[in-house]
Structure 1
Amino acid sequence: MWLRRPGVLLLLLGALQATDTQEQEVKALVGSSVELRCVFPERHTFDLNDLYVYWQISVVGQPKTVTYYLSGNSSTGQEDDRYRDRARLSPESMQRGDFSLHLYNITPYDEQKFNCLVFRKSLELKKILDVEVTLHVAANYSMPVVSAPSGPSEDRELTFTCTSVNGYPRPNVYWINKTDNSVLDGGLQNHTVSVNAQGLYDVVSVLRVPWAPSINVGCCIENVLLHQNLTNRPAEPIPGTEPGNTGSHRDVHRRDHGAVLSAVAVLLVLVLGAVGCVCRSRCPRADPCRWRAARPERALFDCV
């Protein structure tokens, strides 16, 4: 009867003499599949009827069953709900001493220490294998998007907002001066990191800086586990700024300079027009009929 209660059996097995625990570390992306290795160190063929195999995790100090194999007993129905239909052992591989766990559709919850325990009934439930596998889970953050101020305004504070979503683990966030790639003072930044419905992290970072004639900043999201740094592409230019200069405000003076040039051009046109009028008043007028004779296609115009 007790074979139908793997939780009770596990407590009994845990009280037996322990072997040395082997430790491993594995990385996996969210949504992917992974194999957690648990292999008997020597070449050996096992009888499945002689084996008890457990994969478990510890939650708040309590063991939770991921999957298991008990000889002479159905190895289904006792798994933790989060691992049901996602964790699998291969009977054929176990006969060859390979007790590895195949875990599918990785989620952030799977960032755990997994413990593989193998016992032999014929040896009075002696533990022959104890392997601990630490699974590190990662997910790529979206490319950060920076929202620049709506327009330049002298003598006022400028606010930039950076957004990146669906990443794991929790990121490091930096604002940089793209002019010299220096990291901006952390006191100018405010980061909000939240967990979404998928268990992934969303990031919103706000940078506030004093107005300056030329500002070119970037937002960097660092995923330490993936050794990855993502920096935003150039934001949409502020009206009147040069494309590609995120938050650039040097064009305030360029707009004024352009307005002056436009005024000079209009004045020049007026001067040239006045000169033309003076010239026509002093020069003899050409005979319009002579013009018509020279250009017959203008015959529709009357001569006076």
Structure 2
Amino acid sequence: MMYTQKRELMFSTTVLKWFLWLGLFVLPFGCSDTVQVTAKVGDVATLPCNYKMQQPLASYMIYWQKYVGPAISDLVVIAYSNGKENTVKDIHFQNRTKMDVKTLTLWISSVNVSDEGKYRCIILLNGEHKGDKWVHLSVSADYRKPVIHVSHNPCSPAQLTLTCSSHGGYPEATMSWLVNNETVLCPYTSIYDNGSESFNITGNLKQNVSEDILVQCRIHYSGLQVSSEHHLSIGKCLNPSPPPPPHGFITASIVILVVLALVIVPTTFLRCRRRKHVTSHQPVATSEMTSQQLSNGTSEATCA
């Protein structure tokens, strides 16, 4: 019994190696019946095999492989032999793939950009090749809503520079502008970020503005589109009145005025009293001077 299991395992491994070796010489892009499948980053991709089972699963050997390139061994996505899933699987697909044992449909969870490519479903019945199916998986990620930045506020006719930017999308996108519903094509820059496996796109539009216009920036990718619009208004920019002083400034001014009042009023009052006091004693001094002058005979004035 142990010898039989060992022999079956050796046969399974040999057949798998044979198909991997065969894949080096088969050009997958020559298959005209390739099925096209699209999935978004983070979702589950469904890859159909479209094979009608004629015998119990235990009679088949099923392989799902991903084509890498010429002269490179295909990656094993999932494999079944003797009715059970085989442990032979590429590390990139560990804990991410399942197969429907009735329809042979492959599911890939948590899809990422590196999953994009061509996959092949290979069916063997009792060691005899019964068919295969090619499936091309395209992966996409939604771009963020574009952000439009204007160089300055157009309160008078001028040439403005508008910048539109978006990020986080896949595959590479194109950018177009609409100015009052007329399409305008301008240069843009698209950069791939290896860390996030996504593209960042930025473009500029120079526009002579002498009247109100509606500007729209559009990002196109995988048959999808995301856009933003900006309304440039001329003649509605009034000279703004100076803003009211802040509340803190008013409070500080009141405090300063009160302090000045408390200092200036008493000081003024004391000065007034001092002057009044000096004025009230001047006649006495004059009277004394007059008496002294009379005694000395220096004045001709007389007293009644």
Counterpart amino acid of residue 192 in structure 1? T
In structure 2, runs of 5+ residues without a counterpart are 1-9, 242-304
Partner in structure 2 of residue 237 of structure 1: none
Partner in structure 1 of residue 134 of structure 2: 132
Partner in structure 2 of residue 119 of structure 1: 124
Partner in structure 1 of residue 233 of structure 2: 248
Does residue 1:99 correspond to 2:111, yes or no?
A: no
Partner in structure 2 of residue 285 of structure 1: none
Count of residues in Structure 1 that have an aligned counterpart in Structure 2:
224
Q: What is the Cα deviation at residue 34 of structure 1?
A: 2.2
Percent sequence identity over aligned pairs: 23
Report the CA distance shift for 1:174/1:250 in structure 2 as closer, same or farther (over 3 A). Answer: farther
Partner in structure 2 of residue 292 of structure 1: none
C-alpha distance after superposition, 1:262-286 (max 9, x if no partner)? xxxxxxxxxxxxxxxxxxxxxxxxx
Structure 1 contact 222–229 (Cα < 8 Å) conserved: yes
For residues 233 and 59 of structure 1, what CA distance do their matches in structure 2 show?
Answer: 42
Of 56, 64, 69 in structure 2, the residue corresponding to residue 55 of structure 1 is 64
Question: Residue 144 of structure 2 aligns to a residue in which SS?
Answer: coil
Q: What is the Cα deviation at residue 233 of structure 1?
A: 4.1
Q: What is the Cα deviation at residue 144 of structure 1?
A: 1.1
> Which protein is bigger by CA-based radius of gyration?
2
The 5-angstrom pairing of residues 146-161 of structure 1 reads: 146-152=148-154, 157-161=159-163
The root-mean-square deviation of aligned C-alpha atoms, in Å, is 3.0
C-alpha distance after superposition, 1:168-199 (max 9, x if no partner)? 2222210111x2x1111x3xx23111223221
Report the CA distance shift for 1:82/1:231 in structure 2 as closer, same or farther (over 3 A). Answer: same
Question: Residue 93 of structure 2 aligns to a residue in which SS?
Answer: coil
Does residue 1:71 correspond to 2:69, yes or no?
A: no
Structure 2 contact 214–229 (Cα < 8 Å) conserved: no
Structure 1 contact 2–9 (Cα < 8 Å) conserved: no
Question: Residue 135 of structure 1 aligns to a residue in which SS?
Answer: strand
Partner in structure 1 of residue 98 of structure 2: 88
C-alpha distance after superposition, 1:223-280 (max 9, x if no partner)? 3x3x43322043xxxxxxxxxx2x333446xx37x99xxxxxxxxxxxxxxxxxxxxx
For residues 126 and 21 of structure 1, what CA distance do their matches in structure 2 show?
Answer: 23
Question: Residue 19 of structure 2 aligns to a residue in which SS?
Answer: helix
Partner in structure 1 of residue 19 of structure 2: 10
Does residue 1:39 correspond to 2:50, yes or no?
A: yes
Counterpart amino acid of residue 249 in structure 1? I
In structure 1, runs of 5+ residues without a counterpart are 235-244, 260-304
Report the CA distance shift for 1:118/1:150 in structure 2 as closer, same or farther (over 3 A). Answer: same
C-alpha distance after superposition, 1:38-67 (max 9, x if no partner)? 1323x523241x322111112122222222
Q: Flag the structure with higher helix content.
A: 2
For residues 76 and 211 of structure 2, what CA distance do their matches in structure 1 show?
Answer: 62
Structure 1 contact 153–211 (Cα < 8 Å) conserved: no
Counterpart amino acid of residue 248 in structure 1? S
Structure 2 contact 189–202 (Cα < 8 Å) conserved: yes
Does residue 1:169 correspond to 2:171, yes or no?
A: yes
Partner in structure 1 of residue 198 of structure 2: 200
For residues 231 and 133 of structure 1, what CA distance do their matches in structure 2 show?
Answer: 32
Q: What is the Cα deviation at residue 22 of structure 1?
A: 4.7
Structure 2 contact 63–79 (Cα < 8 Å) conserved: yes
The 5-angstrom pairing of residues 171-250 of structure 1 reads: 171-177=173-179, 179=180, 181-184=181-184, 186=185, 189-196=186-193, 197-223=195-221, 225=222, 227-234=223-230, 245=231, 247-250=232-235
Report the CA distance shift for 1:158/1:3 in structure 2 as closer, same or farther (over 3 A). Answer: same
Query: Which one scores higher on RCO, CA 8 angstroms, separation ≥ 6?
Result: 1
